[in-house]
Amino acid sequence: MNTHTDSTSGDLINKKAFNMILRAGGKNLLGELIGIYLEDTPQQIKEARDAIGAGDFKTASRAVHSLISISGNIGADSVMNMAVQIEKMAEDGDGDGVARELDRLECAYNKVRVALEAELQNI
């Protein structure tokens, strides 16, 4: 049985992207990337939140942009898609929208975090 298609992570993890990393670099690479993602994502969210609070839309946009690629690479499509929307809002100077959507992004990330932590137990 392939442990990377179980219901633990459900639709939170794009299995195609996830398994591509596993095939390309094995369990060590996958574990390392998950670790980096789990460590860096909260920092990026905080950086974006702090920047919006200071009215620094450029820094907020840059912080959120970094979430787009790493989330896509790890298969966290829900977080990636939300980050794309937030980046656009930051570029448009919509501070209220960014703040509101960062709250939603953080909730989505927390769900993905739980799923990735469960996956780490399986690799």
Q: pLDDT for 61-85, tens place per residue?
A: 999 999 999 999 999 999 999 999 9
- Whole-angstrom CA distances from 71 to 74, 79, 96, 102, 113 are 5, 6, 23, 15, 11
What CATH topology corresponds to 10-115?
Answer: Four Helix Bundle (Hemerythrin (Met), subunit A) (1.20.120)
Per domain, the residue ranges of the chain are 10-115
The stretch 28-40 carries a mean pLDDT of 94
pLDDT score of 7 more than 50: no
pTM as predicted? 0.86
3-state secondary structure (DSSP) of residue 86: helix
Helix (H) or strand (E) holding 3: none
**How much helix, strand and coil, in percent to the nearest 5, is found in the chain?**
85, 0, 15
The rounded distance, in Å, linking the Cα atoms of 47 and 17 is 26
Tokens of 21: 């990393």
CA-based max dimension of the chain: 50
pLDDT score of 92 more than 60: yes
CA quadruple 82, 85, 90, 96: dihedral sign: negative
